Amino acid sequence: MTEDTWEQAQERWLAVDRYVTGLLAPDDDALTSALAAGDAAGMPQISVAGNHGKLLYLLARTQGARSVLEIGTLAGYSTIWLARALPEGGRLISLEYSEDHARVARASLERAGLESVAEVRTGPALETLPKLAAEPGAGPFDFFFFDADKKNNPRYVEWALRLGRPGSVIVVDNVVRGGAVADPDAVDPAVTGTREMYELVAREPRLEATAVQTVGSKGHDGFLVARIVS
């Protein structure tokens, strides 16, 4: 095979995402509607890809999650994938900064029949997390998905250590950002925050973790998976 140009490589990655997602993780009406509602409301197209949503679902199911804490709801696309992984009586809380995003996401969750499973709470997560933690019976959460403002990722991981339990799983989205994360001279707070998060995870004895880079419909990016050991 001759070497691809950059454009050919991207087209190939996109074709593979379409192939895999079409066979293994096709959007149903509720997922398609959630994306369409986000588009109609002018939201950026930054929901996880379908095959990534399915991975979140599979990780949560495999782990046996009954409670999920998500940060960054947007249109509710990843929220639907994760909420569908929960058994009867399971519960998901998704923290979202924007009232507008939350309104759209709640309607999409209702359309998906998940309004009694998933709850969207608004406000900056660093303000809603302490309120959540103060509620009787809050946590421990079995599964965390962090996909909001990247600069606060280290704080979110610290919260997961407080709100999780041994065996809880943490997934963090967008931990590669076109490779920017490997640049020690990065100044973008999203990148420096993510690097700080990696370093925190690396030195935290209560966590074991890895990160995987991805290509496809969302460009070159990746996700981190961690498990709370103790």
Nearer to ligand DHB, 139 or 193 (CB): 193
For ligand SAH, the binding residues in 154-213 under the rule CB under 6 A are: none
Which is nearer to ligand SAH, 153 or 168 (by Cβ)? 153
With a CB cutoff of 8 Å and minimum separation 6, the contacts of 120 are: 73, 76, 79, 94, 95, 96, 102, 105, 106, 109
Which listed option, ligand DHB, Mg ion, ligand SAH, none, makes contact with residue 149 (CB within 5 to 8 Å by class)? Answer: ligand SAH
Shorter beta-carbon distance to ligand DHB: residue 142 or 147: 147
Q: CA-to-CA distance for 41 and 38, rounded, in angstroms?
A: 5
**DSSP codes, 4-65:** PPHHHHHHHHHHHHHHHHHHH----HHHHHHHHHHHHTT--S-SPPHHHHHHHHHHHHHHT-
How many whole angstroms separate alpha carbon 213 and alpha carbon 221?
A: 6
Nearest position to ligand SAH, beta carbon:
72
Q: How far is the CB of 72 from ligand SAH (least distance, A)?
A: 3
CB-facing half-sphere around the CA of 66: CA atoms within 13 A: 6
Question: According to CB under 6 A, which residues from 170 to 199 bind ligand DHB?
Answer: 173-174
The least CB distance from residue 135 to Mg ion, in Å, is 27
Residue bearing tokens 């600069």: 151
* Chosen residue from 72, 139, 193, 216 binding ligand SAH by CB under 6 A: 72
Q: Which tokens go with 41?
A: 């409301």
Q: Which stretch binds ligand SAH (CB under 6 A): 17-25, 41-49, 186-194, 204-212?
A: 41-49
Q: Which one of 173, 177, 195, 216 is in contact with Mg ion (CB under 5 A)?
A: 173
Q: How far is the CB of 168 from ligand SAH (least distance, A)?
A: 18
**Residue 70 in the binding site for ligand DHB (CB under 6 A):** no
Least spacing, CB of residue 96 vs ligand DHB, in Å: 12
125 binds ligand SAH (CB under 6 A): yes
d(CA 114, CA 93): 12
**Rule CB under 5 A: which of 143-172 touch Mg ion?**
147
| Of 147, 157, 191, 193, the one binding ligand DHB by CB under 6 A | 147
Separation CA 45–CA 102 (nearest Å): 16
- The DSSP line for 172-225 is EE-SSGGGGGG-TT---HHHHHHHHHHHHHHH-TTEEEEEEEE-STT-SEEEEE
# chain residues binding ligand DHB, by CB under 6 A: 4
Contacts to ligand DHB by CB under 6 A: 46, 147, 173-174
